[in-house]
Structure 1
Amino acid sequence: MAGTEVENGGNKELKEETSLGLTYRKAENFDEWYSEVVVSAELIEHYDISGLYILRPLAVEIWETLQAFFDSEIKKMKVENCYFPTFVLESHLKKEEDHYNGFSQEVAWVTKSGKSDLETHLALRPSSETIMYSYFSKWIRGHRDLPLKLNQWCNAVRWAVGDPTPFIRSREFLWQEGHSAFATEDEAHAEALEILELYRRIYEEYLAVPVIKGTKSEVDTFGGAIYTNTVEAFIPNTGCGIQGATTHCLGQKFASKFELNFEDKKGDKAMVWQNSWGYSTRTIGVTVMVHGDDKGLVLPPKVASTQVIVIPVPYKDADTQEVYDTCKTTVNMLCEAKIRAELDSRDYLSLERKSSEWEMKGVPLRIEIGSNDLADEQVCVVQRHNGAKMGIAANADLVEEIKKMLNNIQQNMFDVAKRKQDECIQVIQTWDEFVEALHQRKIILAPWCDDKVVELDVKEKTENEMGAVKILCSPFDQPKLLEGTKCFASGKPAKKWTYWGRSY
């Protein structure tokens, strides 16, 4: 879309359309606000089947920006792209019991071809471990075949029960899934951390969303993995955590089931160590939730398909041609500098209507140019994220000023989100403090005894009154645990600090 002009097409006799104002406010009815924004901003359209959504160009362009970054980075790690079929044999899916149990309630099955029953039921891929690893066993024979590091960009289907939410919990979604096999355990652990850092960069450097890197509890570890690392984001308006992306160290559990053996350098038989890792279009939903406001989307410049919209503001009896020519020149200058800019020359809409449309779509900067601006040799620039409006000299430095402004917006959006995240985290020591913090919609950092039974007990105690609370992650960056610190829930000696809260 960069460098294009919004056409004047359509009936010029059309009267002004109704206001683009949202029905719901973010602070008052967050769920309805979110559902309205993703449609009004043209990220999605609802499909005829619940939980399935049409991704419109704006959403796909954000996804493609993230894809371009991540794909380039994993290729530096010698990861190769591939593609496996969508369908999974029932026998393969059930081969690793913990893995199958983790997905069994969400698997969608194909059981017929036309009017005939299929001899073998086929699952639509919820994840590709069991599709891919039976072929890994054919390709890995000796240590020279390792490491094997593959990634695929594809869709996945998880027929989740309950109310679906666009991007956050949909029944079909786009994602990347990486699958690796190594000769040694250390190599697997190292890759899991390296990929997790790329996920942090996606959220923090591109989406301006702060995340915390940590490890999931045993209860929330991916089925078939020995541990799951996560980047966890927080939604201050709801007091909920949200899993941003994960890397799973599978150890040798799948290798033993799929006979992923190789001859090591000594000539002995050995078993590979494996990882799987992925992030999805959930990234887009998190961005909307964190940055959006009562006017619609607020997009960080790095992922905005249109970074600058230029709008001519002609007045009666003024030289409108000069205004339009200046706008076109400005767009061309910005595009030549690799800034994604567009011209909105629709003369059948008012400035207010155009501004509302581009605010709804979250365009970071709006430049307005009228005859008064020409006389003053300046342009009027409006920032989407904070509404700040200012005049900038229309000279040779204009492009550099716009670049600086976009960089500052990116950083400022992250800083604001980080401050809000920090404000919603509360450190507690006791159960009473825990309950009080939950009522205040806080994310809680608490000392924990690292006991699965205690975690499940907390979930059960909170389920009815406050909505089930769970461990979000145990952060890599652990605060100092003073000697004698007790678990807030059990009174046993605490072993680590963990984040607790409700979760999407």
Structure 2
Amino acid sequence: MAANKASIGAKTVLPVGHTQKTEDILGITVTKEGDFSSWYQEVVLKSEMIEYYTEISGFFIMRPRSMFIWGVIQKWLTEKIEDMGVQEASFPMFLSEASLKKEKDHVEGFAPELAWVTKAGEKALEVPVAVRPTSEAVMYPYYAKWIRSHRDLPFRLNQWNSVVRWEATQTTPFLRAREFLWQEGHTAHLTEDLAGEEVLHILELYAGVYEKLLAVPVVRGRKTEKEKFAGGYYTTTVEGYIPSNGRGVQGGTSHCLGQNFSKMFDIKVEDPTPKTEENPGHIYVWQNSWGLSTRVIGVMVMIHGDDKGLVLPPRVAQDQVIIIPVGIKKSTTPEEKRRHYDELHSMKTALKKTGIRANYDVREGYTPAWKFNDHELKGVPLRLEYGPKDAAKSVVSYTRRDTGEKGTIAISDLASSVGDLLETIQSDMYTKAESAFLSHRKVITHWNEVVPALDAKNVVLMPFCLAEKCEDKIKDLTSREDTAADGLAEKKAPRMGMKSLCIPFEQPGGIVKGETKCLNPECGEFAEEWCMFGRSY
């Protein structure tokens, strides 16, 4: 346990000089470009989104600022899936060893990450139980019990819960944790076509979470056979991109499980068509599963944050507007101060009546400049400043968090103007992120351009044969060992090999079946599709 605490301490308390630590300094002490990893850790800690759980390594506490964002996502997505007929449920968090053995191929994908409970108090359990990494094995025995007829289809359940995957690699807040929050939807359908329609509908909802709420662009596509969900039929995905380090990141996945799991768990219905010699009279249902996790928050932070801290899209910000009094001096009388604060309260009330999440900061003992920095660190989209000079002109001054742009708004137009400005900020943040992604998504047709493109922090689209062994080889070819031919260590850092991110639904065009070769120089097979590759989380 001591080692775990030491490793966490190293993450949360970074030395600055000889006398101060980063936790003692209000602002961010490193730049996003200069030390991205340390920058990210500082931002999520100092903005009060995350706290490290020091008792056990790899676990994190999500603070109210993060939970508010997750709550907005949960509310938005729940409304959309309820319109589809999805109902909420809650299943136990433990899996039996027997149920896991039913789905060998699926479980093998999670086996290294399974956490097992072997004791209750001082007594050893007769049969160890695993903490769910996902819930297929928990839920599907009951699908077999509850689904009796084709009239019960489609059968759709979703649950919001936490899962445990005991990561052996280094953990990162939001992106890779040993326990994380997510939603997992599990549905059953009569035909492949009906299942497929839902897969794509859910994928578009996931894209909406990123693009409409978080102002983050994503690429929609299908995973390769190597990267698909273990035991599934096929996997669709939304893929993001982090400009600061050039890495791709899987944003959310919607899987068609086919009939693999229904055959494992005997989930079948009577065939509604007439029985014949070829038709045995029953159909194994077609199943889907789909999940979106708190990883979305980390992606948002990495894309929009800057050297001052968080930059939050207005639609998910807990405080969309912060109003800060200025011009209050020692000579200001108590009556003048009270009247000034009453005006702030009136502004806040007017904004809240229109649905804007507004607050004011009247904390004593802090200068306006200190408050500006504090709320910039926490990513509040819009700051309003109001002092005697503003009052004389019947205006309020504003500063945008995303661009730093300043201006004034007439108090008489405050509610409508602020609402419009927040929507402009949301739109501008998306446009900026989309422009960055597009400029770093390179179409490559010559192998010698691949590694330079990766080193320039790009993801690449290239002709690919889709073979698993070729994918393994591509990862090897784009990796670099940290030892030179003469046995001396290279000065360059080890280079991460690229992996397939997805086969985008929107293809660039230009692949001629039976003519265009896979770009891997050691492959020799014909290309099937353009595939997006990159270094990734």
TM-score range normalised by the length of the shorter chain: over 0.9
Kept in 2, the 8 Å contact 1:211–1:234? The answer is yes
The aligned runs of 1:433-448 (5 Å cut-off) are 433-448=449-464
What do residues 456-483 of structure 1 show as CA deviations (whole Å, max 9, x unaligned)? 1111223334212100000011111243
Q: Distance in 2 between matches of 1:158 and 1:425?
A: 31
Q: Distance in 1 between matches of 2:401 and 2:250?
A: 27
Q: Distance in 2 between matches of 1:194 and 1:482?
A: 28
Amino acid in the other structure paired with 1:29? D
Query: Partner residue of 1:9?
Result: none
Is 1:294 matched up with 2:307? yes
Is 1:472 matched up with 2:479? no
Query: Partner residue of 1:30?
Result: 36
Give the secondary-structure state (helix, strand or coil) at the position aligned to 1:433. helix
Query: Partner residue of 1:463?
Result: 479
Query: Partner residue of 1:128?
Result: 135
Query: Partner residue of 1:5?
Result: none
Task: Give TM-score scaled by structure 2 length.
Answer: 0.89
More deviation, 174-183/115-124: 115-124
Q: Distance in 1 between matches of 2:259 and 2:397?
A: 61
Is 1:272 matched up with 2:288? no
Query: Partner residue of 1:400?
Result: 416
Q: Distance in 1 between matches of 2:511 and 2:70?
A: 44
Is 1:303 matched up with 2:316? yes
Q: Which runs of 5+ in 1 are unaligned?
A: 1-16
The Cα shift of 1:244 comes to 0.4
Kept in 2, the 8 Å contact 1:481–1:496? The answer is no
The aligned runs of 1:1-80 (5 Å cut-off) are 20-48=26-54, 49-80=56-87
Q: Distance in 2 between matches of 1:138 and 1:410?
A: 46
Q: Distance in 1 between matches of 2:77 and 2:434?
A: 23
Kept in 1, the 8 Å contact 2:301–2:310? The answer is yes
Is 1:389 matched up with 2:406? yes
Amino acid in the other structure paired with 2:317? A
In the superposition, relative to structure 1, how do residues 458 and 137 fare at CA in structure 2: closer, same or farther (>3 Å)? same
Task: Give TM-score scaled by structure 1 length.
Answer: 0.95
In the superposition, relative to structure 1, how do residues 243 and 24 fare at CA in structure 2: closer, same or farther (>3 Å)? same
What do residues 178-218 of structure 1 show as CA deviations (whole Å, max 9, x unaligned)? 00011111110000000000000000000000000001111
Percent identity between the two aligned chains:
47
Q: Which of 90, 113, 126 lines up with 1:106 in the alignment?
A: 113
Query: Partner residue of 1:485?
Result: 516
What do residues 225-250 of structure 1 show as CA deviations (whole Å, max 9, x unaligned)? 01110000000111100000001110
The aligned runs of 1:234-253 (5 Å cut-off) are 234-253=241-260
Kept in 2, the 8 Å contact 1:314–1:323? The answer is no
Q: Distance in 2 between matches of 1:346 and 1:47?
A: 30
Is 1:499 matched up with 2:512? no
Q: Distance in 2 between matches of 1:321 and 1:145?
A: 64
What do residues 421-476 of structure 1 show as CA deviations (whole Å, max 9, x unaligned)? 11111111122111221221211111111211111111122333421210000001
Kept in 2, the 8 Å contact 1:313–1:323? The answer is no
Kept in 1, the 8 Å contact 2:252–2:292? The answer is yes
What do residues 308-339 of structure 1 show as CA deviations (whole Å, max 9, x unaligned)? 00111133234323321211110010011110
Amino acid in the other structure paired with 1:500? F
Q: Distance in 1 between matches of 2:535 and 2:103?
A: 29
The one of the two structures with greater contact order (alpha-carbon pairs below 8 A, sep at least 6) is 1
More deviation, 483-492/29-38: 483-492
The Cα shift of 1:18 comes to 6.8
Q: Which runs of 5+ in 2 are unaligned?
A: 1-22, 276-280, 482-494
The aligned runs of 1:333-412 (5 Å cut-off) are 333-395=350-412, 397-412=413-428
Q: Distance in 2 between matches of 1:93 and 1:220?
A: 21
Q: Distance in 1 between matches of 2:454 and 2:193?
A: 39
Kept in 2, the 8 Å contact 1:300–1:409? The answer is yes
Kept in 1, the 8 Å contact 2:459–2:532? The answer is yes
Query: Partner residue of 2:18?
Result: none
What do residues 56-78 of structure 1 show as CA deviations (whole Å, max 9, x unaligned)? 00000000000000000000000
Q: Distance in 1 between matches of 2:309 and 2:465?
A: 43
What do residues 251-276 of structure 1 show as CA deviations (whole Å, max 9, x unaligned)? 00111110111112136211100000
The Cα shift of 1:367 comes to 0.4
Q: Distance in 1 between matches of 2:446 and 2:517?
A: 9
Q: Distance in 2 between matches of 1:21 and 1:168?
A: 23
Kept in 1, the 8 Å contact 2:463–2:511? The answer is no
Query: Partner residue of 2:446?
Result: 430
Q: Distance in 2 between matches of 1:331 and 1:355?
A: 17
Give the secondary-structure state (helix, strand or coil) at the position aligned to 1:186. helix
Q: Distance in 1 between matches of 2:525 and 2:264?
A: 37
Aligned residues: 487
What do residues 110-138 of structure 1 show as CA deviations (whole Å, max 9, x unaligned)? 01111221111111000000110011110
Amino acid in the other structure paired with 1:328? H
The aligned runs of 1:313-352 (5 Å cut-off) are 313-316=326-329, 317-318=331-332, 319-352=336-369
Kept in 2, the 8 Å contact 1:429–1:487? The answer is no
Give the secondary-structure state (helix, strand or coil) at the position aligned to 1:195. helix
Amino acid in the other structure paired with 2:227? D
More deviation, 188-197/427-436: 427-436
Is 1:177 matched up with 2:184? yes
Query: Partner residue of 2:215?
Result: 208
More deviation, 45-54/204-213: 45-54
Q: CA RMSD in A?
A: 1.3
Give the secondary-structure state (helix, strand or coil) at the position aligned to 1:363. coil
The Cα shift of 1:19 comes to 5.1
Query: Partner residue of 2:10?
Result: none
Q: Distance in 1 between matches of 2:339 and 2:524?
A: 75
Kept in 1, the 8 Å contact 2:511–2:527? The answer is no
In the superposition, relative to structure 1, how do residues 258 and 482 fare at CA in structure 2: closer, same or farther (>3 Å)? closer
Which stretches of structure 1, 4 residues or more, deviate above 6 A after TM superposition? none
Q: Distance in 2 between matches of 1:450 and 1:56?
A: 42
